[in-house]
Structure 1
């Protein structure tokens, strides 16, 4: 997986949330969380797996809403942050963090009501392998996001320390077909790339986000959006 060593470094975990989800990055955090909630729907008493859970942004959010959730990640430092979040939120009893490999998930077939992965597929060297594993352990639903090609993200993609795989719609359709999944719904967002928002204070970023959202609702928006959210079902 791209950037595997970089991602597991302790200093990366220490700075991960602050660098990405403060200031203008808060707008990214809010949109991603809403995308997960929209896709999964009511989660109370559902058994859910999050692959590449990182610092537990989504894991803890869903536990607070009553999910029985496991967050799996390769980085102990990231998961330590997630456990602290769960403790502060008072949901340690309904969330479990596990270290594991997304290419060999340590769960039986059809074990979870839903499986999702955010901020993961842009790092995957063999995405079909990972997606087949997500499908295998889910009873029905698999939800994930991708960074999109073509989009404004290509302007800075090569600067990222861990690299980044970009996907066209055709790429994702092929990936789903090879994994035995069918597309149930897709949404596309952020004409301006994430990196742009993260560099701005929140008060400055919000007007840009308003314009971005308005333009994104036009036919042009889907064509040049930098992020796509894919809600898939088992065939």
Structure 2
């Protein structure tokens, strides 16, 4: 996995949410959570694993909605941030954080209803192997996102701390076929790069987001979206 050491640093974990999901980044956070909830609904009583859960943005949200959730991450520092969030939250379901390797999940086959992986596959050195492991422990559904090859992200990808693996739609379709997953739905979003949203106040980012959403809502511009949200089921 790319960036393992970087993500495990205490200072990175402490500043992670503030740097990415404050200012206009709040719009990114809101959209990602919406994508996850829409894919999984109804959430209540669902047994969910999130791999690479980081600071627990999704794990805490899903537990608040009544799911029984396990969040797994390689970074002890990130997990500590998640535990702090969980202590402040009013959880309707259960939530457990575990430190572990997404390539060797410490769970039996068919253990979870749903497995999710957000902000993960852009770091994967062997996406097929990770997806197979996710499929092994899921009995129903896998939800994940990818950053896209034909987007503005490709222009500045080299400048990121560890870069990103960028995907074409055909590459993801091939991954799904190899791992015996059926595509239920895919949503494409964010013509404007994440970096711009994060760098400006929310008051400026909101009108940009309105235009982004309007322009991006057609089949032609979908090909240039920064991110795709994939909802898949086991065959």
- State the TM-score, normalizing by the size of structure 1: 0.98
Q: Distance in 1 between matches of 2:202 and 2:220?
A: 26
- The Cα offsets for residues 133-184 of structure 1, whole Å up to 9 and x where unpaired, read as 1111001100000000111111211111121000000110111111121111
Corresponding residue SS for 1:156 = helix
Q: How far 1:92 moved relative to its partner?
A: 9.3
The structural deviation recorded for 1:219 is 2.3
2:22 counterpart of 1:22: yes
SS at match of 1:224: coil
Contact residue 86 and residue 92 of structure 1 kept, 8 A: no
Superposition CA RMSD, Å: 1.0
Q: Could you tell me how far 1:46 is from its partner in structure 2?
A: 1.1
Is 1:68–1:95's contact at 8 Å kept on the other side of the alignment?
yes
Match of 2:55, SS?
coil
Equivalent residue number for residue 59 of structure 1: 59
Name the structure 1 match of 2:185: 185
Q: Which runs of 4+ in 1 moved over 6 A?
A: none
Deviation at 1:221, TM superposition (A): 2.4
Q: Who is 1:32 aligned against? A: 32
Relative to structure 1, the CA distance from residue 215 to residue 88 in structure 2 (aligned partners, 3 Å threshold; closer, same or farther) is same
Alpha-carbon contact 2:67-2:92 (below 8 Å) kept: no
CA positional deviation for 1:119:
0.1
May I ask how many residue pairs the two structures share in their alignment? 235
Q: Which residue of 2 aligns with 1:41?
A: 41
Residues 36-86 of structure 1, C-alpha deviations (whole Å, 9 max, x = no match): 000001111111000110000000000001000000000000010000100
Q: State the match for 2:148 in structure 1.
A: 148
Counterpart-to-counterpart distance in 1, 2:204 and 2:158: 26
Structure 1 alignment gaps of length 5 or more: none
SS of aligned partner of 2:223: helix
Q: Take 2:193 and 2:174, find their aligned partners in 1: how far apart are those partners?
A: 25
Cross-structure match for 2:107: 107
In structure 1, the partner of 2:221 is 221
Q: Which residue of 2 aligns with 1:234?
A: 234
The alignment partner of 1:162 has SS state of coil
Report the alpha carbon displacement of residue 220 of structure 1 after superposing the two structures with TM. 2.5
**Could you tell me how far apart the structure 2 residues matched to 1:42 and 1:123 are?**
29
Match of 2:85 in 1: 85
Task: Tell me, yes or no, if the aligned pair for 1:48 and 1:112 is still in contact at 8 Å.
Answer: yes
Distance in 1 separating the partners of 2:232 and 2:161: 30
Q: What's the TM-score once normalised by structure 2's chain length? A: 0.98
